[in-house]
Structure 1
Amino acid sequence: MQPLVSVCMPAYNAGQFIAEAIRSVINQTYKNWELIIVNDGSTDETVSIIKTFPDERIKIFHQENKGQCAAANKAFKMSNGALIKFFDADDILSPSMLASQVARLNYTPLNVASAQWGRFYDNDLNTFKLSPESVWRDMPSTEWLVESWKNAQPMMQCALWLIPREIIVKAGLWDERLSLINDFDFFTRVLVNSQTVLFTPDACLYYRSGIKGSLSDTKTRKAFESAYLSIEQATQTLLNVRDDQNARLSCANIWQNFIYEAYPLYSDLVQKAESYKLHLPAPTLPYPSGGITKLMTLFFNWKTLKLIKNKLQR
């Protein structure tokens, strides 16, 4: 018997994209799956589109709008699979993704499987381009975290991972207080409760980018409070199990990136993040810049540049 894979999909006003996401599950070469969709209070055509797929392996549940984390948690609770993949309703899986990751895990409940990924823009798969990372290899799970965080741009998107159910039970579910970078906290807990990340080169996530109004582009106070809490919890989770110089430097760089993003909009959150850095090594993360901004770094410090950019964006 091949293990049942539960694909857990939160869906909120995903009518523009969800059909492609569902088809990418139906088209999997691996057939022993169930797709658990939780409609998180959608007000568009999301539900009617889901109902156009008469596959008995697709199950839909409804709740009032409670957010992505609550919907993901409900999907997990309604699932039956020995292996779990969380999957956003606007992304696409390569056809052999489940088969390849199931084969890599080979029934072991101690490891998680990862995948390669790339972005596509403007709903056009012709724009797809892989985004190779140094962690595209088999690695001890905590080493994966330290390496991935080093440049403070870790890709921990949910559909990359295939996870044994036992690991999620041990790690705990999604923190429903979080919105922005909620995956950072969740998958840090998942990885520290596993032994090895098994890279699966035949599996690929097509990550849809450039969506107007997407959560990842949100700059509200609530979003930054979520990011702060997610980073606070994830860095502490890692340091609780690995408190060496490399791990501490990676945490320092994650905090520095948050400071770059939050300044000058939320000075109190910046100040709190700075207090965390006092107990960590000096970060090595440069201010992210390109084009004209990179040229301006020759004449201004990063805080001045952020103040200038902030005024220009108003």
Structure 2
Amino acid sequence: MEKNKSVIKNELISVCMPAYNAEKYIREAINSILVQSYTNLELIIVNDGSTDQTLSVVKQFSDPRIKIINRENKGQCAAANLAYQHATGEYIKFMDADDIISRDFIKNQYELINGHPTWIASAQWGRFYHNDLSTFTLNPERVWKDMKPIDWLVESLQDGPNMMQCALWLIPRNILDRTGLWNEELSLINDFEFFIRVLLTAEQIKFSDKATLFYRSGMQHSLSRQKSKKALLSGYLSTKLGCASILSFENSARTREICANLYQLWHYECYPQLPIESLELKLLADNIGGSNLKFVSAGYTRVLATLLGWKRTKYIKYLLGF
């Protein structure tokens, strides 16, 4: 009975959407919000200095629930923070400008956690390629269930990097007020560091199998595909900060193992562009028990790594521009 009363409250939900050069995708993202069966929402779009027609596309929508903020380019995290500062809802969803969510996504997540200010809602997700939704397939994970946040993190990181994409989560405002916002120093894997802090502030993760994120893959210029020096520095810092948060919350054999593996992974990833940071990550892994994670490769890279070792192989590929 109490749950039914809380659902009737129908609280305002704020969707925060940073947008940079998203003219090809943002219309679909906006439409997926405006057609939600849960209608008491606002959509705050921050046009982060786009040089294409993103702003023109956004302005074509006349729905009064949309707020548009136009600003000079300062990066995705700064844009997300600015959107949050203009949000007035009791629940917050961050969403990329190329995301698509199912029609009952917000409704189903809200009903799971409404009345429980220390709970966060998660969702299922899958990929589609080349802007073709007919290619969509779900990507089932072991963490698609109700879990304690630290257990969710350990389980999801057991096999390496996990899926923490921002649109998956519905977050009570009070949790974000305690957690702090996005780290504006980060670009690559900024979700990792941010959502570790957010999840560890919550008491429970509630999973909805009736909320689906359609994750767009195969875009050549997405942040997740960048391997520039700046992007690698972001990955290095995000990994350090995220693992520090995990180990501060629970310093145990299981958390040391997953953090050592993440350090080791980015030890490989940062070489040779960031040799000092790469070495630091190796030392961090060794200091908490070490990692048995091997250098992952395929095709000719695997052949070269077998013959020359992973360092020489990565250095050669770097010199050749691969």
The TM-score bracket by the shorter chain reads over 0.9
Report the secondary structure of 1:143's partner residue: helix
2:173 maps to amino acid: R
Which of residues 307, 310, 319 in structure 2 aligns to 1:302? 310
Change (3 A) 1:284 1:102: farther
Report the secondary structure of 1:286's partner residue: coil
CA root-mean-square deviation: 1.6
Give per-residue Cα distances to partners, 1:180-233, cap 9 Å, x unaligned.
Answer: 111111101101100111111111111111112221111111111111111111
Give per-residue Cα distances to partners, 1:91-142, cap 9 Å, x unaligned.
Answer: 1111111011001113211111111111111111111121111111111001
Change (3 A) 1:223 1:298: closer
- C-alpha distance in 1, partners of 2:316/2:165? 32
2:239 maps to amino acid: I
- C-alpha distance in 2, partners of 1:83/1:28? 15
- C-alpha distance in 2, partners of 1:96/1:76? 23
Q: Which residue of 2 aligns with 1:180?
A: 188
Instruction: Answer yes or no: is the 8 Å Cα contact 2:236–2:270 preserved in 1.
Output: no
- Report matched runs for 1:9-88 at 5 Å: 9-88=17-96
* 1:291 positional shift: 4.6
Instruction: Answer yes or no: is the 8 Å Cα contact 1:149–1:253 preserved in 2.
Output: no
Q: Which residue of 2 aligns with 1:217?
A: 225
- Paired residues in the alignment total 314
* 1:309 positional shift: 3.9
Q: Does 1:123 align with 2:131?
A: yes
- C-alpha distance in 2, partners of 1:116/1:247? 24
Structure 2 spans left out of the alignment, 5+ residues: 1-8
Q: Does 1:137 align with 2:145?
A: yes
Q: Does 1:250 align with 2:258?
A: yes
* 1:14 positional shift: 0.9
Report the secondary structure of 2:287's partner residue: coil
Q: Which residue of 2 aligns with 1:190?
A: 198
* 1:176 positional shift: 0.8
- C-alpha distance in 1, partners of 2:213/2:148? 22
- C-alpha distance in 1, partners of 2:207/2:295? 30
- C-alpha distance in 2, partners of 1:126/1:301? 41
- C-alpha distance in 2, partners of 1:284/1:101? 38
* 1:32 positional shift: 1.1
Instruction: Answer yes or no: is the 8 Å Cα contact 2:108–2:210 preserved in 1.
Output: yes
- Report matched runs for 1:227-266 at 5 Å: 227-266=235-274
Structure 1 spans left out of the alignment, 5+ residues: none
Give the structure-1-normalised TM-score.
Answer: 0.95
Give the structure-2-normalised TM-score.
Answer: 0.93
Instruction: Answer yes or no: is the 8 Å Cα contact 1:85–1:159 preserved in 2.
Output: yes
- C-alpha distance in 2, partners of 1:293/1:67? 33
- C-alpha distance in 2, partners of 1:203/1:300? 47
- C-alpha distance in 1, partners of 2:298/2:116? 44
Instruction: Answer yes or no: is the 8 Å Cα contact 1:151–1:285 preserved in 2.
Output: no
